[in-house]
Each structure stands twice: as C-alpha cells, then as structure tokens.
Amino acid sequence: MDYYELLSVSRTATADEIKTSYRKLALKFHPDRNKEAGAAEQFARINEAYAVLSDPEKRAHYDRYGSAPGAGMPGGDPFGGMGFDPMDIFEQLFGGLGGRGGRRGPARGDDIEAEARITLLQARAGEEIEVEVDRLTTCEHCHGSRTEPGGKPPVTCSTCGGVGAVRAQARTIFGVVETQQPCPTCRGEGQIIQDPCTVCHGRGRTLKAEKVGVKLPRGIDEGYRIRVAGMGNEGPGGNGDLYVHIEMEPHPELRREQEHLIYTARLGFAQAALGAQVTVPTLDGPQTVEVKAGTQHGDLHRLRGQGLPRLQGAGTGDLIVEYEINVPRPSQLTPEAREALHAYARAVGDEVHEHREGFFDKVGKIFRGE
C-alpha cells in the first residue's frame, strides 16, 4: 500500500498539498456520505496514510524504509500505542468531539471554514450567497446520546473512575514529574458506550452537507473572511462558527483596485490624434465615452461613482478608463496606410527611415510567431 498513491499526491508534495488532497478524499469516502461497498475500508486507509504523511518524522521514516515507524515490529504501533481509529484523524482536521482530554464541562463545537468565489456585481450589491459546507451535526438516530436506542446504557470507566484522565509519573533531571493524560481506556470520555449507535458508531454526531446563507457586506474584496455564528460543528456546549474566505471571480475586462475599477481602452494612432468614441463595459452595461483629440498614451478618464462601495467608510469608487495607444506593426500596414503615414511625416517634418525586410528578418518573425 503506497500512502502517496492513496492520497493522490506526488512524493514531493508539500504539507498543504497533502492536507488538501486528504480533505477531498476523506469527504468522498466518509461512511456518513458514501454507502458503497468498500468505502469504509478506503476511508480507513486514507486516514492511515494521512496520519503518517502529515507527520514530518513519520513521513521521513516512510520515505526511507517504505513503512511507518514501528510497523511490522513486535508490539510496534505507528499510531502512538492507543490503536488507530480513522475517525480520530478526520475529526482532528474537521473538528474534534471536544470531550476528550479531561472533564471540564460540555465542549463547544469546533469552527469550520469554507471558500466562496463571488463576482464584482455581487460584491457591489452586497448580495446573500449560498455556501456548501460539511458540518458535524447531532446524530438524528441516537439524538447525540451515542447509544443505540433501546440498548444498554453507558457505564463509568473503571480505569479513570469517570474522570476522563489518568495521572502518570515520569523521572526527569528535575525529579519526579506528575502529568495528567487522557484515559487510554475511555479516551477521555469518562464512560464506556456498551451498545454504540449503529448510525454514528457511538460518536454522537454525523457528517452532514448543508447550504448556508451568507450576507456579503457591500464592497467586500478578496481576502476578507466572514463569520457566520453558530454554523460550525455542533457540540454539547454549543455550536462552533463558520468562517467563509472570499475570493473574487476575475472580470473579463475590468480589474479592481480597492473601490475603483480600471478599464484599459486601446486606441489607434488616428483615434488618439483626432478624437473618437469608445465603448466602456461598466457594471451597469456598455457606456460610450468621448476620446478627446490629442489623447496621449497613459491618459486617464474618470467615470465618477461607477466603481464599488467603500467597504470601510461612505462613498463609492470610480471607474477609470486608462488609454493605451497602439502602434501598428509594419506587417499590419496596408500599402495605402503606409503611404498615408509617409505623407503625414512629410507634412509635419518627421524624418523616417523604413527598414526593408531581409531574409533574416523573415526568419526572426517565424521564430517569434509573427
């Protein structure tokens, strides 16, 4: 079993690439979402691979020896000596159960994250969008009790006495140090589930795909994060929050600079010299703009109030038309156009020297794709 093949990544993949691939595959094969034969086994293998490749030391050992540390050795366990539960790895990344590690009262559900790509129009209007998320929600079969309805009730853990933690002593150069660790028997829960729920497998929550409405602030830009309270994972102490990371969908003709929009209008030499009309693609539709005679390369024309609302503060940005003068290549000039340019040069006293194309010039054009 090749861990890299299981996660569909190369052997040189970065930690972020491994994590991203794992998230997609874990959601695809999660038992709550995929009921096909073999999905649960594939889910376990994917989590085993991630447990090794996400740990730098374990990954280095695997790359060198082709196995996880301790695998195949008498009593060896590459997963810390407590057994390997694929749901543990999944919930560490997507949000843990919260109750492990000590009895400190009901734990709040974990926060989750999502991404949303929006358009300039949606940002300007401050629309409400829908975001698809995968949340851990209370199991509808056992209602979060983790026990199969009608089954035997949970019993107090005999190892920790229901505390959820055990004390251990370690001898160091500073003397004997006492530490507290999650109970290895009940794994920090303080009780043992005798008849686990057949739907959530004794975890009290299941993974559920939901669509969440998210209200966009008017003028929001890429890189901002919106908090949606209570739409994270559910927990006995309350729900976590959802954080939506905003990305902007590129506009085919406009580019954004804060609250302003920029459009590059390309003019021919004659248009810039004599004046013309150009069509500008505003967010409200095409608009005709007059180009003044004598317009220079880099000149700007401002359409006030046709940008985006200022995200922090009052007012609206502008749409700025940036003029770019196009000089035609010799190959683009017809004989008539070339003669007209020579006539113009003579009229204004410009000296020109037209380079005649030779063999090597033609070869150069071929290599340049002209």
- The binding site for Zn(2+) comprises 139, 142, 157, 160, 183, 186, 197, 200
- Indicate the burial class of 153 (C-beta count within 10 angstroms; 0-12, 13-18, 19 or more): exposed
31: closest CA among 241, 205, 233?
Answer: 205
Report the alpha-carbon distance of residue 123 to residue 172 in Å, rounded: 59
Per the annotation, binding residues are 139, 142, 157, 160, 183, 186, 197, 200
- CA 362 and chain centroid, separation: 48
Pairing of strands 319-326, 300-303: antiparallel
Report the alpha-carbon distance of residue 66 to residue 62 in Å, rounded: 5
Q: Residue 94 in contact with residue 30, Cβ under 8 Å? A: no
Token pair 């698809």 is found at 132
- Indicate the burial class of 70 (C-beta count within 10 angstroms; 0-12, 13-18, 19 or more): middle
Torsion of CA 205, 206, 207, 209, to 10 degrees: -110
How many other CB atoms are found less than 10 A from the CB of residue 130? Answer: 11
Q: Residue 47 in contact with residue 26, Cβ under 8 Å? A: yes
Token pair 């995200």 is found at 311
Q: Looking at this protein, which amino acid is placed at residue 115?
A: E
> Which letter, b or e, does each residue of 272-295 get, where b requires 16 or more Cβ atoms within 10 Å of its Cβ?
beeebebebebbeeeeebebeeeb
